[in-house]
Amino acid sequence: MQIRISHDCEGIDWARVTYILETVGMTGGEPEFHQSIFESSDVVVFVFDADEVVGFGRAISDGGKNACLLDVAVLPEYQGKGIGIMIVDSILDHLKGCNVLLFANPGREAFYERFGFRKMKTGMALFVDPEAMEKRGIIE
């Protein structure tokens, strides 16, 4: 493996990003949609093996107080090799001093606890599709 990390949306193969998201069971959408939301994010991280994207994550942030960690995903054949930790560490490095919120897929909570994330007692979310999020086990 020739692993490298980038914080740049320039030259990203958005069809591959879409493929990885679908492969790990995360939100659908066209490549152009993912390009738009990654390019509008304040922090992006892409992990490459040679020239191919194998994982990524992003965050939106006000730059000083609050931020939200989103779309952390690693291609299944690259999981368990420390790439997920690399992605989250790298994003958190850019969010120093901010409260960082996230909503984990059920079963992923322990992955985030290792970085110091703790369950919120009063966390609430106004989702566009609450029924789907309820089915996924994300809201009550």
Ligand X SMILES: CC(C)(COP(=O)(O)OP(=O)(O)OC[C@H]1O[C@@H](n2cnc3c(N)ncnc32)[C@H](O)[C@@H]1OP(=O)(O)O)[C@@H](O)C(=O)NCCC(=O)NCCS
Residues that bind ligand X (CB under 6 A): 24, 26, 72-74, 79-85, 104-105, 107-108, 110-111
How far apart are CB 102 and ligand X at their closest, in Å?
A: 7
Torsion of CA 33, 35, 39, 42, to 10 degrees: 80
Helix (H) or strand (E) holding 55: strand 52-61
Pick the closer one to ligand X by CB: 9 or 86.
86
How far apart are CB 26 and ligand X at their closest, in Å?
A: 6
Pick the closer one to ligand X by CB: 91 or 98.
91
The residue with its CB nearest to ligand X is 84
Pick the closer one to ligand X by CB: 62 or 77.
77
Angle at 17 between CA 5 and CA 76, to 5 degrees: 80
Pick the closer one to ligand X by CB: 10 or 140.
140
Strand partners, 49: 3, 52
How far apart are CB 94 and ligand X at their closest, in Å?
A: 18
DSSP one-letter code for 48? E
Angle at 81 between CA 87 and CA 91, to 5 degrees: 5
Cα(52)–Cα(54) distance, rounded to whole angstroms? 6
How far apart are CB 58 and ligand X at their closest, in Å?
A: 12
